[in-house]
């Protein structure tokens, strides 16, 4: 690319405007960090005595595990669990929290666990005292006193992410990080040091490709277009790519209740959705939340076929600041998963 020079190596700050890459010393008035993150490996008993896998090394696996044990019950772990179950592996998921994907509402967690168990995946939640040991050519994972260990051929650790900030020399630049190692940024992604910005997974403002790209858009808009875009303008939205997928935007039901605001809720099971019935994929449901006083759309969950696409019907209205009545009066195409969203919006009830 014209005007672009690529240096391959490990970059480390030597001062607030100087970075060393090998023998090269680079100085610039503006520096942008987008160093990403990596899988966290907690210091659990025996973990360093076994050949564990992470989301990265999992992609290099050239054999089919006879029994894959997944430690962790969140997004990456569940996607790999279902994937390898469908490849033909026996799969066990072990999660220390009381339920899977704890940031979701309880009904969502329960529905997803049911989907996985219906495919033959064994799920253990509320697991404590997790430890690892070799057992011949296999790996034993012990947990929760009194329960038999899970013994498998491979172990995948999916226990969160760690930002790649610990070896950048940030202290020499004076860049502040929080207690988890994320670079502290303001609403326009400026770090504590003038002239240094942080984008993507390393700033703790999002852990998705789409949020990383939006970080770039925010920085570019402010620097190049005098457009004061902000991180706080972004509505939380993401998908869990199991089958059927979960599409999520805005607040959960639990978050709405915690906020103390009066709210309305509407819900429909996929057994009431024509497209889902036609496809024979009726697991899951749709749920919409709205402010009872203003009509503001607060959040939406779509767990079912096409949920990762249908969610945008609601997400775009939220960005447009359109009230729930706009969705209620919309005419959606039949037969489609999203055609039930206006129906749900017409029949909201008080959230209790």
| pLDDT 10s digits, 147-177 | 999 999 999 999 999 999 999 999 999 999 9
Confidence at residue 42, expressed as pLDDT on a 0 to 100 scale: 94
Confidence at residue 224, expressed as pLDDT on a 0 to 100 scale: 97
Determine contact, residues 230/215, Cβ cutoff 8 Å: no
Determine contact, residues 291/261, Cβ cutoff 8 Å: yes
Give the long-range contacts of residues 180-183, CB within 8 A, separation 24 or more. 180/204, 183/33
> What amino acid positions are annotated as catalytic residues?
334
- Collect the ranges in the chain with pLDDT lower than 70: none
Confidence at residue 207, expressed as pLDDT on a 0 to 100 scale: 87
Give dist(CA 158, CA 73) in Å, integer: 8
Tally the C-alpha atoms within 13 A of residue 341's C-alpha that lie toward its C-beta: 31
| Domains parsed from the chain with CATH numbers | 11-38+162-233 (3.50.50.60), 47-159 (3.50.50.60), 241-350 (3.30.390.30)
């Amino acid at each position: 690319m014209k005007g672009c020079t690529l240096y391959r190596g490990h970059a480390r700050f030597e001062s607030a405007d100087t970075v060393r890459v090998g023998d090269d010393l680079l100085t610039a008035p503006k520096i942008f960090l987008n160093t990403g993150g990596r899988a966290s490996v907690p210091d659990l008993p025996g973990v360093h005595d076994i050949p564990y896998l992470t989301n990265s090394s999992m992609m290099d696996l050239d054999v089919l595990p006879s029994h894959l044990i997944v430690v962790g019950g969140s997004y990456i772990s569940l996607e790999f669990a279902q994937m390898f179950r469908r490849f033909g592996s026996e799969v066990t998921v072990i999660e220390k929290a009381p339920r899977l994907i704890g940031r979701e509402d309880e009904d969502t967690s329960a529905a997803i666990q049911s989907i996985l168990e219906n495919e033959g995946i064994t799920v253990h939640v509320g697991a404590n005292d997790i430890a690892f040991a070799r057992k011949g050519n296999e790996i034993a994972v012990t947990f929760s006193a009194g329960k038999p260990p899970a013994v498998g051929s491979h172990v995948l650790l999916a226990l969160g992410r760690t930002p790649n900030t610990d070896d950048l020399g940030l202290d020499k630049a004076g860049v502040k990080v929080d207690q988890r190692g994320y670079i502290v940024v303001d609403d326009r992604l400026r770090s504590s040091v003038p002239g240094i910005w942080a984008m993507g997974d390393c700033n703790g403002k999002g852990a998705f490709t789409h949020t990383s790209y939006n970080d770039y858009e925010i920085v570019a808009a402010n620097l190049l277009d005098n457009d004061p875009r902000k991180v706080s303008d972004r509505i939380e939205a993401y998908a869990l790519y199991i089958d059927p997928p979960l599409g999520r935007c805005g607040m959960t039901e639990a978050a709405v209740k915690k906020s103390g605001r009066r709210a309305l809720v509407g819900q429909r099971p996929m057994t009431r959705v024509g497209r889902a019935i036609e496809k024979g994929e009726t697991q899951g449901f749709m749920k919409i939340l709205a402010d009872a006083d203003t009509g503001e759309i607060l959040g939406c969950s779509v767990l079912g076929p096409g949920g990762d696409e249908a969610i945008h019907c609601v997400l775009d209205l939220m960005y447009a600041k359109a009230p729930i009545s706009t969705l209620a009066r919309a005419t959606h195409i039949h037969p489609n998963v999203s055609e039930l969203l206006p129906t749900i919006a017409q029949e909201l009830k008080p959230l209790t």
